[in-house]
Amino acid sequence: MSAAGHRISAIAEAVGGHATCADDPVIAHLSIDSRKAFSSADTLFIALRGQRHDGHRYVRELFARGMRHFMVMDDVDADIAKGSIIIRVADTLDALQRLAGWHRAHFNIPVVGITGSNGKTVVKEWLFHLLRDSEHIVRSPGSWNSQVGVPLSVWNMRTEHTLGLFEAGISEPGEMEHLRSVIRPTIGIFTNIGPAHGAGFTSDAKKAEEKALLFTEAGTVVHCADHARVVDALHALGINQRAAMRGWSRERNGWLHVVREEAHGACTRIHVSNEAVDFSFEIPFTDDASVENALHCVTFLLHLGRSPEWIAQRTPQLPPVSMRLETVEGMHGITLLNDAYSNDTASLAIALDQLDALAAGRPKAVVLSDLVGSGEGIEARYERVGQLLQRARLGTVLTIGPELAQHKSIDAEHVMHFATADELLDGVDPATLADHVVLVKGARAFELERVAQRWQRQVHGTVLEVDLEAIRHNLNHYRSKLAPGVRTMAMVKAFGYGAGALELARLFAHENVNYLGVAYADEGVDLRQNGIDLPILVMNPEPVPFEVMHRFALEAEVYDARSLRESIHAATHVNDAPAVHIKLDTGMHRLGFVEAELPQLLESLREAKRLKVASILSHLAAAEDPEQDGFTRAQITAFTRMATAIGEVLGYKPLWHVANSAGITRWPQAHFDMVRLGIGMHGIGMDATETALLLPAAALRTPIAQLKQLHDGDTVGYNRRGRISGSRTLATLPIGYADGLSRRLGNGIGRAWIAGQPAPFIGHVCMDMCMVDVTGIACGVGDMASVFDRDHPVADVARDMGTIAYEVLTSISQRVKRVYVRG
């Protein structure tokens, strides 16, 4: 291989494929996502096929954009084959994994494979933080630990690297052997075994053994010797006979003994010893998971030969690991993508990809600090940074630090250099970045978090955290149930079910959703004014001047004689009038033409030659309820009968759609041409079984504002409704009914969650605040309380309120800051 990559002929031979090539270029980059930017000279696009996607669909689009190297399973069109180099294989995923394994075999450096139920990413990132000054490290970006993420991570190995850190995650038997052959770890770290990702395994013991397969050829395995499942799995596979076991233990079962753990303030001091060492180190965390992750790291470092003094000097600076980039609304229409706590080329590449996806055509800017302690030479480091920034096609780059100021290859329309964050804040008016998407990316030492904080629009401490990766997962869950060609409409009405319509619309545009649905024209106008160009259906009856619908290309729902007359009149007098959607009432009895009105509807359509009908729709009243299946079948039958008659009069078949989220799951015969996705995308299925397959998409959190001690007989809140028995500790939270926390909660109904423990509401919920009982919970002012989150579902809050999750989500006030994260 060359320093940059491999010849394409060698790649073809490595994967057992056939290449059509006259030239033999060097391939440095692999791409599996047609939406991402690429350099055409040295990128190979691999067309992966799965249940929910097929990369072959995008080959022609990529060819038109300049891609000239493809790995495919299917034949490509003759003009593409003639103008490109094509590697033809039987299975592109298998070929990707074989390619990465072949690439890995070119390197003889320590490679660490990390697996377990939890903690993989934190252990990897902490090891990177601890070792980056002395090693040139290649590692999995983010949480790239899947069948696709692992080979893409390993492909990043280059001759200058001295250490590899790679995660491996699995969800079913048979997967780890594929990942083992790619990573080929010389050292293993087995974090733990818990309930995560257990659905595909018959028991925790079987899951542990499957994960342990990663270490069958490793020379050393780091683990907790007190975790019986982990130890049993290593013994069952005979790994303990072949590898050096580096277990840590609180029970004197391992190579390293944990003598004592003492929490003080926000830190934990840990004393460890074995035959060679006896010392203490400190970490800036007190939770059990962080202590466990730190002990894995320290055990590994001792195995590498790092001295106790070296370790103790560095562990107090361990950073919190944010595995998700946060997106928040900034002033002047700015959208901020905040990653102000880490900076290296691998995470910069990921952040720039997310910036591009988030921008959706808007101008892009980056605030970037110097890279600290990457282990590689400065010239090579910033040459790579320059290449990444050039590929991102940025309008503005603002740098902080002396090294970037000296680097001359940053390519952007506007480049400014600053010595410190303060200098940047004094020298840049954020109004000059109005309507930009701005990535703030920096090492902790440069304090770029202050830039993100200063440029945010809202500062209310209560936040609704929206996980865009969870929404994408849920979207794909429902898409996987659809036949090829069935389209999707994503509902973003009611401020996107409380999550924020604009950011969801940008996500859905990036995910190639076909339509957006809103309730009122104002919602559609706002999306159009913010650059959303997907087709938008306005579904509710509020009369809106046709000029508004026409100017913003909004498509109206026609549901009665009046709306039909207005639409026909508009179509008659305006050449490019938007198409309409005909709503049929098949039993919901809310909006729509009933079957008795069908003859008059058909007569009107017969005469309306210029009216364009985009779709015919209805609404299933009880798709989720088995007791109402007879009614649902009757609705589907009536819709089919009425829609068929309309199509015969029109002379063409518009799109048909009736299925909502529950209808997608339970009524495949009702998928027709398009389905409408709403609450399911937010992680709420029609029942517990389906909900378990989805990911919760939102978390409502608020900081503790004050703690106080109350005593027997004291009262809390308005009308003295909260009454204290004994001595209790009370916390005041800055969230109230003006934020969307219902007054149906309070007085012992419902709870917040603090440090994983329930804190019941006491007294009435106030307009801007509420009070909770935190007696016995270790917490302080500023600690976060959750009303609902991934572990405490919004459905539980709805149950306490005697309502449905829709109401809880859509009631969250827009004064609550929305923070967008990705997985």
- pLDDT tens-digit profile of 103-126? 999 999 999 999 998 889 999 999
Is a pLDDT exceeding 60 seen at residue 314?
yes
Question: Would you state the pLDDT for residue 141?
Answer: 82
Q: What is the mean pLDDT of residues 19-43?
A: 85
pLDDT over 90 percentage in the chain: 71
Of the candidate ranges 195-209, 232-246, 488-502, 593-607, the one whose mean pLDDT is the lowest: 195-209
Would you say 87 and 70 are in contact if contact means Cβ atoms under 8 Å apart? yes
* Mean pLDDT of the region 292-312: 97
Whether 210 has a pLDDT exceeding 60, the answer reads yes
How far CA 597 is from CA of 73, 582, 594, 641, 643, in Å, comes to 52, 13, 6, 13, 13
With cut-offs at 50, 70 and 90, classify the pLDDT of residue 458: low
Query: Could you tell me the CA-to-CA distances from 547 to 3, 466, 553 in Å, in that order?
Result: 60, 35, 10
Q: What is the pLDDT of residues 251-288, one digit of tens each?
A: 988 999 999 999 887 899 999 999 999 999 999 988 88
pLDDT bucket at 700, cuts 50 / 70 / 90:
very high
User: In whole angstroms, what separates CA 717 from the centre of its chain?
Assistant: 39
Candidate from 403-417, 430-444, 692-706 with smallest mean pLDDT: 403-417
pLDDT digits (tens, 9 = 90+) for 349-380: 878 888 888 887 889 999 999 887 555 677 77
pLDDT of residue 457: 78
Cα separation, 144 vs 733, whole angstroms: 36
**How far apart are alpha carbons 500 and 358 in whole angstroms?**
14
Over 97-120, what HEC string results?
A: HHHHHHHHCCCCCCEEEEECCCCH
**What's the pLDDT at 196?**
58
SS3 187: strand
**What average pLDDT score do residues 398-408 get?**
87
Enzyme catalytic residues: 493, 718
Residue pLDDT, tens place only, 525-535: 999 988 899 99
208-213: Cβ within 8 A, 24+ apart: 208/232, 208/233, 209/233, 209/236, 209/237, 210/170, 210/173, 210/175, 210/176, 211/115, 211/116, 211/168, 211/170, 211/176, 212/236, 212/237, 212/239, 213/176, 213/177, 213/180, 213/237
Residue type at position 528: R
Nearest Cα neighbor of 333 from 494, 429, 456 is 456
